[in-house]
Amino acid sequence: MNEGEVWTVEHGASRELSIRQFPSQTTATFYLILFVFLGAALAASIGPSPVCMTPVLLSLLLMPVRAVLAVPRRELALEDQEAAAALKLNGAYQRVQEAIDGLAAEVGFRRPIRLIVSRRPNEARASGSWRRHYLLLGAELLEKVARDLGDAAQRDKAQALLLHEIGHHLHRDVQRIGYAGELLKSCATLLPWWTFFLIGWLGLALLMGEAILEVDIQSVTGLTPELQELLAPLLTLSPEEAAEVRSRLESVSAGLLLSFLLNAFFPIAVTGLVLWLFFWRRMLRLQEFYADALVAAQGLGWAELGAAIARYGYSVRPAPPAQPGLGNAIRRALVGRLARFGAEPGETTAFIGTPDRWGWRSRRWLSLHPTLRERRLLWLEPQLFLEEWPGVAWATAVLVLTLDVMLVNPLTGYHLSAHPVHISTIGIFLLVSAWLMPMLALNRPFWRPLGKLLLIVFGLRWAWLALNVALLLTLATLAPAFTQELLNLTVLSTARSVVVPETVVVGDPLQMSLAILPALFGLQLVQLGGVLLLLALYTLFQRGVAQHARAADWIKRHWLLVVGLAVIVGALFVTPLSDLVGGRGAMLVTTRRMMLYTGALLVGFVVWLQLRRLRLVADE
C-alpha cells in the first residue's frame, strides 16, 4: 500500500496494516514526561523561593543534553580500532556500510549512519546524539553480516538486522528515548544531590551566620595585610546590611527550610527513578515493535526477522566452566544472562531451565526488549497490538497518577494549586487518544473497551484519592496535633515559606479536611467531564478518518487535534469549571482569563485551518 493513498480499511487485512501509520504510545509518553518534568523545572524558577533555583534548573536542563551530546565521543572512544582496520582491509566494513547507506536511502532516512566496530563481539545496536547516527556492530558480527550480504540465502536476514537498527534512527528513538532516559536519570541523581548540598550549605549558613557577622578581619592573626585587605570587603557589612541579614537569619526556621527542600526535590527524584526503571523501559520495548514494522514494510517476513534475531541476536558458544563462589552464584541468580544449552560432557543430566518464575517475571518489567513471542504475534496480527487496551489503561492510570503525585510539591504546587486537574486531564487524553486513533481509523468497535479503559484509569485515581482522604480523616481524628503540624508544614511548603507565621495557618485539621472535600470531589467530576469531552470531540473529528484523510497524514492530523483540543477544552471548560468549583468565580471575567479564552480560540482556529488544509490535500 502506498502511504499517499486513501486507505479504506477492511478488518483482518493485517498484512497491509502497519503500526507505523499510527501515533505511538511512546511518543505520547515522551511528550507527557517532557512537558511535566521540564514544566516542573521551569515552575521551580518562577515566583518567590527560599533558595535560588536557577542553578538547580540549569543543571536539570543541561545535564541530560550534555549526556546525550557526549554519546558520540563515548562510542567513538570505545571503537575497536584494530578490528576496524582489519575489517576495512578485507572489505567487510565497506560492504556493510554500503548496505546501511542503501537501506537507509530506501526507507527515506537522509542523514548518514556511520558504522562503528564495537568492542563487544556480538553487539548490534543503534546509537548517536541529535545529529549523529551510528550503528554499532561487534567485529565478529560485522564479519558475519558482511558474509551474509554476499550470500543470496542469508542476505534477507542481514538486511532485516540492519533495517531494524535503521528503524531506531528513523523513528528518532535514539534521540527521544535517549533524552528522556537521561532526563529521568538526572532527576533521580541530581535532585538528591542538590537536596543534601542545600541542606548542608543552608544549615551551615543558619548556624554560622551570626558568627560570620561578628568576624573582625583585623583581629584575625596570621593573615598578611594584603590578604586582610582582600577579605575585608567580603566580610565587612554596613550596619544596615548586617541588620537585614541578622533579621533574616532570625526569621528563618530550619525545620521549615528542611521541609521545603525535602518536599520540593524528593517527589521529583523518586518519580524520575520510578519512571526510568519502568516507563522508560516500556517505551523502549514498544519502539522495538516499530523497528520491526519497518522491516515488514520493506517486504521481509517473520521467517527472515525471526531467523535474523536467532542468527545475530544471540551468541551460541561453548559454555565457560561454572565459577564457584557466592558472588558468582548471586550474579548468576540475579542477572541470569547465561542460558546453558546442554550438559557438560560426562554429566548424565541435562540442564532444564532455571526455577525463577518471579525472577523471570520481574526481569520482564525491566527488560528493554519484547519477547520473541510478542514480536511474532505483533508481526502476524498488528491489529491486536493496536486494539490492546488493558496495557494502555494500566500504563495511563499509573503514569498519570505518578506524575500527579509528583506535581504535589512546592515547586509546582505553588503555581498549580488553583488548577490541580489540568495536567492529568490532558495527560489522560494524550495517552488514550493515541490508542483511540487506530480504533477509529480501522472502524473497530471501541465504546466498550474505551469504557473499561476509563474505568481502570479513573478507578485507580479515585481509589488513591479515597485512600488519601481516609488516611487524612483518620489522622485528623486520632492524632489531631500531629495532623495539624503536618498540614501546616504542607501549606507553608507549598507557599514556599520558611518563616514561622505569626498565626497558625491550619487550626482544626478535621474541620479543614472536611471543608476541602466538596471542592476535591467537584474537581474530580470536572476532570472526568473534561476527559469525556475531549474524547468525544476527538472521536467526532476523527471518525471515518480513513475515508477522508491520507494515511500519510494520520499522525499529523492526530497531533494537531490533540494539541488543539487540549488547549481549547483546557482553557474553555476545565479552567472556568475549576474556578467555579474552587470558589474563584470572580476570576472568570478577569482580563487574564479573557486573554486565555481568546488565545485558546485562536489556537482552535489555526488547528481548524491546518486540518482543513490536510483534508483538501487528501481530496486532490
Partner 1 sequence: MNQFDWLSDAQNQSVLYALSRRAVEEVAPEELPFLEERFPDYVELVGQHGVAVEGADDAFGFAGEEELLTVIIVPALAATLAALLIKKGTGRLADLRDVEQEGLQSRAAEKEQLAAELDEKVGRRVPGGVSRQQLLMLLATIVADYLAR
Q: Interface with partner 1 by CB under 8 A: which residues?
A: 120, 122-127, 161, 164-165, 168, 173-174, 177-178, 181, 284, 302-303, 306-320, 336-355, 357, 360, 363, 367-373, 375-377
Asked if residue 72 lies in contact with residue 307, where contact means CB atoms within 8 angstroms, the answer is no
Q: Using the minimum distance from each CB to partner 1, give the nearer residue, 294 or 407.
A: 294
Whether 517 and 476 have beta carbons less than 8 Å apart is answered as no
Give which of 152, 168, 173, 151 is closest to 100, Cα–Cα: 168
**Which residue number, 309 or 611, has a Cβ lying nearer to partner 1?**
309
Q: Which is nearer to partner 1, 53 or 145 (CB)?
A: 145
List the grid coordinates of 193: 544531590
Residue for grid cell 482544626 = 508
- Residue 40 vs 177, nearer CB to partner 1: 177
The three cell numbers locating residue 147: 558474509
Give the CA diameter of the chain. Answer: 91
Run of H or E residues at 324: none
Give me the least distance between CB of 17 and partner 1, in Å please. Answer: 20
Cell of 496: 514556599
- Cβ 512 to partner 1 shortest distance, Å: 47
The continuous run of DSSP H or E covering 512 comes out as helix 509-542
Q: 287 or 396, CB closer to partner 1?
A: 287
**Residue (140 or 485) nearer to partner 1, CB:** 140
* Minimum gap (Å) between residue 385 Cβ and partner 1: 15
Closest separation in Å from C-beta 315 to partner 1? 5
> Grid coordinates representing 389?
487496551
By C-beta, is 208 or 338 nearer to partner 1?
338
Is residue 183 a contact partner of residue 62, using CB atoms and an 8 Å limit?
A: no
Our CB check for partner 1 shows the closer of 134 and 538 to be: 134
Q: Which three cell numbers stand for residue 288?
A: 522495538
Nearest CB to partner 1, comparing residues 142 and 436: 142
Tell me the three state secondary structure of residue 8: coil
Dihedral class, residue 558 (left if φ above 0, else alpha if ψ from -120 to 50, else beta): alpha
Least gap, CB of 114 to partner 1 (angstroms) = 15
Choice between 369 and 615, CB closer to partner 1: 369
Q: How far is the CB of 158 from partner 1 (least distance, A)?
A: 12
Nearer of residues 248 and 363 to partner 1, judged by Cβ: 363
Q: Which cell numbers hold the place of 125?
A: 545496536
Count CB-CB contacts under 10 A for residue 383.
Answer: 19
**Residue 499 DSSP class:** B
Instruction: State whether residue 345 is helix, strand or coil.
Output: coil
Nearer Cβ to partner 1, position 301 or 604? 301
**Number of other CB atoms surrounding residue 610 within 10 Å:** 16
Nearer Cβ to partner 1 (169/550): 169
User: Least Å distance between CB 104 and partner 1?
Assistant: 15
117 near 142, Cβ under 8 Å?
yes
> Beta strand pairing status for 133-138 and 113-118?
parallel
The phi, psi pair for 340, rounded to 5°, reads -75, 140
Contacts of 72 (CB under 8 A, 6+ apart): 128, 129, 132, 134
Which residue's entry shows cell 534521540? 175
C-alpha cell at 545: 478518518
Cα–Cα distance for residue pair 169/111, rounded to 1 Å: 10
* Closer by beta carbon to partner 1, 315 or else 547: 315
CA distance linking residue 308 with residue 292, whole number of Å: 11
Closest approach of Cβ 596 to partner 1, in Å? 40
Pair 168, 285: CB distance under 8 Å: no
Q: How many CA atoms lie within 13 A of 334 on its CB side?
A: 6
CB within 8 A of 374, min separation 6: which ones? 289
Which of 129, 483 has the CB closer to partner 1?
129
Beta bridge partners of 137: 117, 124
CB of 404 to partner 1, least distance (A): 28
Distance CA 369, CA 487 (A): 44
What is the distance between the alpha carbons of residues 178 and 127, in angstroms, rounded to a whole number? 9
The residue written with cell numbers 544471540 in the block is: 314
Question: Could you tell me the smallest distance in angstroms from the CB atom of residue 285 to partner 1?
Answer: 8
Min separation Cβ 338 and partner 1, Å: 5
Q: Which three cell numbers stand for residue 69?
A: 551530546
CA dist., res. 310 & res. 395, Å (int): 30
Give the whole-angstrom CA distance, residue 295 versus residue 536: 35
